[in-house]
Amino acid sequence: MMLRLVMHLWLLLAMLLLGTFVVHELHAQALTTASGGGSYLAVGGALTATHVPYGDSTGFGGAAYVDSNMSPRVGLEYEGRFLRYNLDEDVSLSSYLAGARVVFWRGRTQPYVKVMAGLGRMTFPFHYATGSYFVIAPGAGLDYALSNRWTARILDVEYQDWTGFTYGSMQPYSVSSGLRFRLNGIELFPKKMRHRH
């Protein structure tokens, strides 16, 4: 149990460091406007509900993610999802994904689409066995900027295809909501300039 927790934390730290490196190396512009953000690095967390075809149940858990945008619209997302609650017989699922994310800025409203891939891990009933699988995961969502640093993830919808799953087809789908914090403070909404008389 402790070893799994340490592994999860290590993978999230590795994703954060990789995102920091990518943003630094690409030297993307740092200035933003009200119509979109420049380069930035942000970390977030979300509560998630997932329909799991194996056992035909709905599991609950959390997700942690890192967004690193190299331009106002295009960036990378790294995500770890952990389902631990409401699944029968001690079944649990985790996924560690990375991929491209495209944002369509509309002022504070930020709809996006994403395509990610990575590793899915499942613990089968009563810890009898574990399995690791390649996962492809398209998704879409809606963020809303609360301030220059805080963004609400109103809704994130993700469909996962666990290719080569031991017991046939495995395509969980999730809905999530949460908060994101921008590590580099960028002025998304500049203050109006005051006119001197």
Q: Is pLDDT of 9 > 70?
A: no
User: pLDDT at position 185, please?
Assistant: 59
Q: How far is CA 181 from CA 2, 120, 121, 185, in A?
A: 27, 26, 27, 9
Q: Where are the domains of the chain?
A: 2-28+37-182
Q: Is pLDDT of 119 > 90?
A: yes
User: What confidence tens digit (pLDDT) does each residue in 64-77 have?
Assistant: 999 998 877 899 99
What's the mean pLDDT in 82-94?
A: 86
What's the mean pLDDT in 113-119?
A: 96
Residues 45, 29: Cα–Cα separation, whole Å: 26
Q: Please tell me what DSSP assigns to residue 33.
A: B
Residues 140, 29: Cα–Cα separation, whole Å: 25
User: pLDDT at position 150, please?
Assistant: 93
User: What confidence tens digit (pLDDT) does each residue in 123-159 have?
Assistant: 888 878 889 999 999 999 999 999 888 999 999 999 9
Higher local confidence (pLDDT), 168 or 31: 168
Please provide the CATH number assigned to the domain covering 2-28+37-182. Answer: 2.40.160.20
For residue 3, give both structure tokens.
């070893």
User: pLDDT at position 54, please?
Assistant: 84
User: What confidence tens digit (pLDDT) does each residue in 19-58 have?
Assistant: 544 444 443 333 344 444 567 889 999 999 999 988 888 9
158 CB neighbour count, 10 Å cutoff: 23
User: pLDDT at position 48, please?
Assistant: 94
Instruction: Let me know if 129 is exposed, middle or buried by CB neighbors in 10 A (0-12, 13-18, 19+).
Output: exposed
Residues 177, 65: Cα–Cα separation, whole Å: 12
Q: How far is CA 180 from CA 6, 66, 117, in A?
A: 23, 9, 21
User: pLDDT at position 125, please?
Assistant: 84
